[in-house]
């Protein structure tokens, strides 16, 4: 089954926990990938408030302008969430992508890879090795440079980005037809400054297995009749 995008969402800015409203039409077994960040000048324990999401990354990059980034995932149940709330300290912003057609038993196709860097505000999410054909790669990133991002990395789509002063969090996606190493590339719209920092996490999402439909009853009946005749 092919993965598809239900929608993207942003939340914030807020001085407290950031609540990201999820798209209309979200359904059971859809999978939400959400990220929240703050530029607080300290290492924060970024958390998802309900405790029902799986943490994929909690990153800190230290410079004059710091970044804290947390990335989370949840397979939606019979009553899907209408929002997700992330606590990253103060001055929080967040983004989310809601996907359909994800393998709900093993949502990630590989262990999430992470990277951080001081002295540079241009996020460069790390490479990841996919294992399954048509997996999606999601490069999440946070920067202490607030430049607007209008272009995702090359060949990526579904960009979602929000800025607030010296804070910036973003994500995008790409379907990878053949398994192997995928290096998303940088979010080049953000100008790097030596006083800035960034944090990034690259997530690989596994598609649900193809549904094999049984043959129609007429074909089964014909096969039974032939067997009885012989």
Q: What angle do CA 210, 215, 216 make, to 5 degrees?
A: 125
User: Residues 53-86: pLDDT tens digits?
Assistant: 999 999 999 999 999 999 999 999 999 999 999 9
Supply the pLDDT for residue 159: 98
54 neighbors 72 (Cβ within 8 angstroms):
yes
User: Residues 170-198: pLDDT tens digits?
Assistant: 999 999 999 999 999 999 999 878 999 99
Closest CA to 72 of 39, 38, 91, 97: 97
Mind giving me the DSSP string for 45-112?
--EETTS-SEEEEEEEE-SSS-EEEEEEEEE--SS--SEEEEE-SSSEEEEEEEEESB-SSS-BSSPP
CA separation (Å) from 41 to 88, 169, 199?
12, 16, 14
Kindly provide the b/e burial profile for residues 48-73, where b requires at least 16 CB atoms within 10 angstroms of the residue's own CB. Answer: beeeebeebbbbbbebebbbbbbbbb
Supply the pLDDT for residue 24: 94
At residue 221, the 3 state secondary structure works out as helix
CA-derived radius of gyration, the chain: 20
At residue 6, the 3 state secondary structure works out as strand
Average pLDDT over residues 48-56: 96
186 neighbors 153 (Cβ within 8 angstroms):
yes
User: Residues 90-138: pLDDT tens digits?
Assistant: 789 999 999 999 999 999 999 999 999 999 999 999 999 999 999 999 9
Report the percent of the chain where pLDDT is more than 90: 80
Average pLDDT over residues 200-220: 80
| Distance separating alpha carbons of residues 136 and 110, to the nearest angstrom | 11
> What residues pair up with 175 in beta bridges, in sequence order?
136
């Amino acid at each position: 089954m092919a993965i598809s995008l239900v929608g993207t969402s942003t939340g914030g800015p807020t001085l407290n926990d950031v609540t990201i409203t999820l798209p209309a039409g979200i359904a059971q077994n859809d999978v939400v990938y959400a990220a929240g960040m703050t530029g607080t000048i300290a290492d924060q324990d970024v958390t998802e408030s309900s405790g029902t999401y799986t943490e994929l990354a909690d990153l800190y990059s230290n410079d004059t302008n710091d970044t804290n980034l947390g990335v989370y995932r949840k397979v939606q149940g019979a009553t899907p969430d209408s929002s997700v709330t992330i606590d990253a300290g103060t001055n929080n912003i967040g983004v989310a992508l809601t996907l359909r057609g994800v393998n709900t038993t093993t949502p990630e196709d590989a262990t999430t890879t992470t990277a951080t860097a001081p002295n540079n505000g241009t996020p460069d999410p790390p490479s990841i090795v996919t294992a399954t054909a048509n997996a999606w790669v999601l490069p999440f990133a946070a920067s202490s440079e607030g430049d607007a991002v209008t272009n995702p990395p090359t060949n990526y789509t579904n960009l979602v980005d929000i800025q607030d002063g010296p804070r910036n969090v973003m994500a995008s996606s790409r379907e990878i037809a053949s398994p192997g190493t995928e290096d998303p590339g940088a979010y080049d719209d953000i100008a790097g400054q030596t006083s800035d920092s960034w944090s990034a996490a690259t997530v690989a999402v596994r598609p649900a297995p193809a549904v094999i439909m049984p043959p129609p009853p007429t074909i089964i009946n014909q096969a039974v009749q032939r067997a009885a005749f012989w």
